[in-house]
Structure 1
């Protein structure tokens, strides 16, 4: 393999290295083997987030959030010394587990070659709504499929052309969704490459992050505060990816992956910033849970979607407890009777009476227990002043994405490493130990 790779320990600069590999087109012909310069001991396959890339992007330039990891990683592999205070990061572990003391971050082997490239794809959400602005009506589902197809094709292509290469798939946001799906398939032996070809995987703000629960702490308020800010997060499944950073309960906004990461569970790390609803959806985020699935809809999907929701509604009503149904019916009749009387006696009071029904009666709560659907739960939550504040806060967090964009400065360990710094150091140590 040494004869077919570009040695990163030579005098080539990073710019010269990137220039040497730009001959590869964004979407190579599957029948044309990759150029020899595409092979390396380690190839990082970075899947950017929404709006960070497009189908015609330069494969050899890793943009956005992942560029903060991939670009320094390649620089360090060329022999540039790591930061003086660099330390090998240690993932947070469940309470009671021991943790080795971090050591100085290892320098890359001088004979090791490392390359990083992005996976160009149509990275967008919003479907027809976004299409009015972008001109491309792809939904999240279609964009995700586009990205996964591109990642699988490139990984398979390189795996066949470079039999000794190890891969490091990583993704951010929608890219984490795609990279996570890829790693899950490989880890469950359903992917396009063998699990042994994956050196490591890293996910930032994965919309399908496996569920985790915050550890409960005891003791003084000061110790509890300290624990909550830097305590470990427990896995709820043995095949879940390894969570790094402060406790963040909940799961990805699109739910968990069946089978988790399989045999790759200990080789894949995930990070989720506090208040990043994209990867930490919990029961309190009712509006977000109801709205996000709509991002997958096209006009053609709408009839099937409505039929499906109608069928689920009928199924929930049919399986509801009879006493719960009776209470909902009684409550509804009582409130409708009040509205009818108000309309007949003094129509001017009808708006006030209607507000009383919506905001002060138990009718909607009683119906919600029978309906048992996220859309209705979201509606009911907006009628309660205390819950309304929570829902608005959650929706604002999801839409403004302040926490979602924070991984470059979001600290995840006691050394003060940010999420991107931690992954950079972790991958450096993996490359040192794994080759």
Structure 2
């Protein structure tokens, strides 16, 4: 019995040795190829497929302050029937089927706390909420529909949100690759700088309120609790600079201010009020030659899609 166990143990040891030698030889052969020989080609990862239900384009529109709500319907927004962005999104929805173009309007708490409206959400919190929701929408669409291209646009507070995302995408390919963005259009962007992006209008010389008032944040905070003026965007729009448009009406205090406005508190309150020229982009003929901003935006989107 003892002899039989010894024989079995010997057989096992020999088998292990042979197996080890075979593994060594095969591994060595893979690592040390004969001179001039090339390793067998590895297959490239498959190109992600685009499901049939995916739209060819997705237009994302971000409304301005008081023009949206957190529980609004992103496909059929109802929060504010006078929202500027509706003058752009509705014609597009009438022109294209959802299979061709998905038009998605950002639902967020578009508010701006001030001394006269202390019950409102603060600007920073509102902006962060909107940014998070747009990022989520883009990531979800790109994961499900990797070939869908995006067209991004926003007004006022919504322009700041879309502009900040364009800054991220153009400089880091996040949260989606820059080559998936067909174009960006910002209307009355509070972080606007002349020469950053393309101005289709009259090359307004001023800067956005957040750039103008950045150095006066302690004073601005007295008029607008919870609002931080973040200054210019580092890196501009990066690789998206050649397809990002900045639209600003002359003398609009949101996007056309001198640096360091002396009466910072009064100017900050005017920013929160959203009145005057800032509220007239749908009808003002003096922003872009020959047409209103709404007409230009609709034509711009149609041009990107149809061409």
- The alignment's TM-score, normalised by the length of structure 1, stands at 0.50
**Is 1:116 the equivalent of 2:99?**
no
Structure 2 partner of 1:247: 203
- 1:112: how far off? 7.4
- 1:249: how far off? 1.1
CA distance in 1, matches of 2:66, 2:129: 14
User: Are the counterparts in 1 of residues 191 and 208 from structure 2 also a CA contact under 8 Å?
Assistant: yes
CA 1:186 to 1:274, structure 2 compared with 1: closer, same or farther past 3 Å? same
Kindly report which structure 2 residues correspond to 1:18-417, keeping only aligned pairs within 5 A, or say none. Answer: 39-62=54-77, 64-78=83-97, 113-126=100-113, 130-132=117-119, 136=120, 138-189=121-172, 191-210=174-193, 212=194, 235=195, 240-255=196-211, 256-283=232-259, 285-288=261-264, 292=268, 399=273, 401-411=275-285, 412-414=287-289, 416-417=290-291
CA 1:126 to 1:413, structure 2 compared with 1: closer, same or farther past 3 Å? closer
User: Are the counterparts in 2 of residues 127 and 140 from structure 1 also a CA contact under 8 Å?
Assistant: no
- 1:250: how far off? 1.2
SS at match of 1:171: strand
Query: Structure 2 stretches of 5 or more lacking a match?
Result: 1-48, 212-231
Structure holding more helix per residue: 1
CA distance in 2, matches of 1:148, 1:430: 24
- 1:70: how far off? 1.4
| RMSD of aligned Cα (Å) | 2.5
CA 1:116 to 1:254, structure 2 compared with 1: closer, same or farther past 3 Å? same
CA 1:3 to 1:156, structure 2 compared with 1: closer, same or farther past 3 Å? closer
Provide Cα deviations, 1:184-240, integer angstroms capped at 9, x if missing partner.
100111521000110111111000112x2xxxxxxxxxxxxxxxxxxxxxx2xxxx2
SS at match of 1:286: coil
CA distance in 1, matches of 2:108, 2:272: 23
- 1:44: how far off? 0.8
Query: Structure 1 stretches of 5 or more lacking a match?
Result: 6-38, 79-110, 213-234, 293-394
- 1:59: how far off? 1.3
User: Are the counterparts in 2 of residues 278 and 398 from structure 1 also a CA contact under 8 Å?
Assistant: no
Structure 2 partner of 1:228: none
Structure 2 partner of 1:426: 300
SS at match of 1:188: helix
CA distance in 2, matches of 1:432, 1:112: 14
CA distance in 2, matches of 1:122, 1:400: 16
CA distance in 2, matches of 1:182, 1:291: 26
CA distance in 1, matches of 2:274, 2:145: 42
CA distance in 2, matches of 1:129, 1:186: 36
- 1:268: how far off? 1.0
User: Are the counterparts in 1 of residues 207 and 259 from structure 2 also a CA contact under 8 Å?
Assistant: no
User: Are the counterparts in 2 of residues 253 and 289 from structure 1 also a CA contact under 8 Å?
Assistant: no
User: Are the counterparts in 1 of residues 261 and 267 from structure 2 also a CA contact under 8 Å?
Assistant: no
Runs of 4 or more above 6 Å deviation:
none
User: Are the counterparts in 2 of residues 273 and 406 from structure 1 also a CA contact under 8 Å?
Assistant: no
User: Are the counterparts in 1 of residues 204 and 256 from structure 2 also a CA contact under 8 Å?
Assistant: yes
- The alignment's TM-score, normalised by the length of structure 2, stands at 0.70
CA distance in 1, matches of 2:137, 2:183: 17
CA distance in 2, matches of 1:202, 1:264: 11
- 1:128: how far off? 7.5
Structure 1 partner of 2:39: none
CA distance in 2, matches of 1:397, 1:123: 14
CA distance in 2, matches of 1:56, 1:45: 17
Aligned length: 234
Structure 2 partner of 1:86: none
- 1:410: how far off? 2.2
